[in-house]
Structure 1
């Protein structure tokens, strides 16, 4: 929620606190920059302390950041002091966010079998977009920016104790992969460099290395575009007469419709389209590119219906692809934590880059309308088209699932043989 909280109310925050729009953008961007730095050592943190302790660390950081953010709203503070406290809070939440997000595929791998793993990944992976959606809808309607930041602090404090219920692993592993120790960070580095032993479980063929490289690029672009748009929604739409509330609802439509679509489709990938993750990407990504490209012409005055429709299409496709991409990366690398860390790091690299580039592409005061962001929409549309083109190069062999199925079959054979002997 803190990532997108300031997007729909960017102009109001700038007016009330005396910040520039660029500084308001950095309240979201700072989370992405910190994420890039934190995501790389996180697998080592999980290896040392386990999922439970890392989650508890994240919840503590969430509460601390919430109240530092609220402290920054004190009217007695100068503009610079207020901004310093709020951005420190955003940096802290930028550290906490990957602690939960990176562990998603590893957690589903440890706790769920082949018929529920993709669905579990979907539920956890979409928690972040749902938070974005709630942040976009709530912040414009709560009241003043100061009051909205207080409400955000209360919500964060109320949610934090849920981390106490997180455990490291179930008593009985659900799959062959779930029973194995998480591969090391360096095993994926060696595999990508072609230095891993062919006998190792994390060995990657040349084709798999190419596929994972394509996924890093595509995942980064597609999720980065969505994140940047959530931060810039108000700035994109305000020049055409849309209110902050309408901008928040349009942005939230992407995420809320996507949530429903992902909830419907993820069980199908567990039980019906089990070996068609790459094919799904090839079919849906070009449609997604077309929708993002259409925004270039749809963002205009009195065209809210078209914007809601396009956001619904983008959300349905994007969030259907999100768990598919995360699971496919695990299939290619057999290294859930590290592959997830790399993918999410990529999204923040592209997200930060796009926010900065699109802010620089904002038109001047003499444009029609003033300060419009049409050039930014062209920029993001072109980037998504590049990702769509690269998707056709993907083969996406699901090696992890094959290993799990062989492992489970061998286990069943052992049970049958022992039963027959008895």
Structure 2
């Protein structure tokens, strides 16, 4: 919720704290920036201390972010002093957020079998966009900016203790993949570069190409969504409430689509993740491209429709993308760290480019972001066309199914009743 919280109220924040719009944008941008090294450290923390300890670190960071951010709302502070505390609060939020995103495919692999793994990843993947949707809905509706930041602090404090319910893992691994020693992030980087690695970490040239395609598409689509959340009020030119509702429409429609499709990916399209992505991704790309013409005054109906299309196509692809990464790399936490690293790296670039491409105060309308919409729509459309080059052979699933058949066969042999004498 902290990441896009200031997007719909950016103009109000700038006026109330006496800072610029670019400074407000950095309250979201810092989350993406600090996300980068944090994401790469999470596989190391999980391998050394376990999933449960990693979650607890995130809970502590969440509480610190809440109250340092609120300390920045004191009216006795200068604009620079208040802004510094807001930035420090967002710094700790940017430690908490990646923990629960990056570990999601590793958590589902550790706890769930073949009939529930994609659904589990989907639930965890959409939890972050759900928070983003709530953040964009709530932040403009909670009074002035200072009251808004207090509400965020209270909610963060209430949910943080739930991390102590997370356990290390089940007593018996649910699949063959869950029973294997986790591969390191270093081994994934080495094999992507064509260097010598242990047999379990080896990837064919086709798998490396597939992983590169997924990283690019995942990264650019995440960047488009995140930068839109951060810049929503500036891009759309509508009121804070309307900008918040449009951003929430994107995320909430996607959440509904993810809930509906998750069981289908586990039980119907379980072997066709790559094929389904070739259907969803082009629709998302076209949606971002059409915003070039759709963002104009008195066009809310069309904008809500486009937001819904983007959401329906985007959110289910979060889990599908992460699961496909696990399939082609057999490295759940390492591949997740890389795709989320890419998404946040591109987000930083998109927000900075958005600020640079913002029109001047003499433009019509003033400070419009038409040029940025052209940049975003074109680059997303071009990158997403590479989805048609994806093969996405699901080797991890094939190995799990083979080991399951062997286990069932051995169990059947053991259950044979010998004749009595």
TM-based fold match above 0.5: yes
Partner of 1:340: 336
- TM-score by structure 2 length? 0.98
C-alpha contact 2:45 2:54 (8 A) present in aligned 1: yes
Partner of 1:115: 115
**Alpha-carbon deviation of 1:421?**
6.7
**Alpha-carbon deviation of 1:289?**
1.2
3-state SS in 2 of match to 1:4: coil
C-alpha contact 1:36 1:348 (8 A) present in aligned 2: yes
C-alpha contact 1:187 1:196 (8 A) present in aligned 2: no
Partner of 1:2: 2
For 1:192 and 1:362, the matched residues in 2 are separated by: 37
For 2:228 and 2:142, the matched residues in 1 are separated by: 22
Count of residue pairs brought into register by the alignment:
418
Q: CA RMSD, aligned part only?
A: 1.1
Structure 1 segments unaligned to the other structure (5+ residues): none
Partner of 2:362: 366
C-alpha contact 1:196 1:202 (8 A) present in aligned 2: no
**Alpha-carbon deviation of 1:80?**
0.6
Partner of 2:259: 263
C-alpha contact 2:34 2:94 (8 A) present in aligned 1: yes
**Alpha-carbon deviation of 1:183?**
1.4
- 1:229 and 2:208 equivalent? no
C-alpha contact 1:133 1:252 (8 A) present in aligned 2: yes
- TM-score by structure 1 length? 0.97
Partner of 1:172: 172
**Alpha-carbon deviation of 1:99?**
1.4
Partner of 1:132: 132
**Alpha-carbon deviation of 1:196?**
4.2
3-state SS in 2 of match to 1:420: coil
3-state SS in 1 of match to 2:3: helix
C-alpha contact 1:31 1:93 (8 A) present in aligned 2: yes
Instruction: After superposing the two structures, state which structure 1 stretch, 37-46 or 181-190, moved more.
Output: 181-190
**Alpha-carbon deviation of 1:340?**
0.2
Instruction: Output aligned runs, 1:1-400, within 5 Å.
Output: 1-196=1-196, 200-238=199-237, 242-400=238-396
3-state SS in 2 of match to 1:201: helix
Instruction: After superposing the two structures, state which structure 1 stretch, 286-295 or 4-13, moved more.
Output: 286-295
C-alpha contact 1:202 1:333 (8 A) present in aligned 2: yes
For 1:195 and 1:368, the matched residues in 2 are separated by: 54
C-alpha contact 2:42 2:103 (8 A) present in aligned 1: no
C-alpha contact 2:219 2:342 (8 A) present in aligned 1: yes
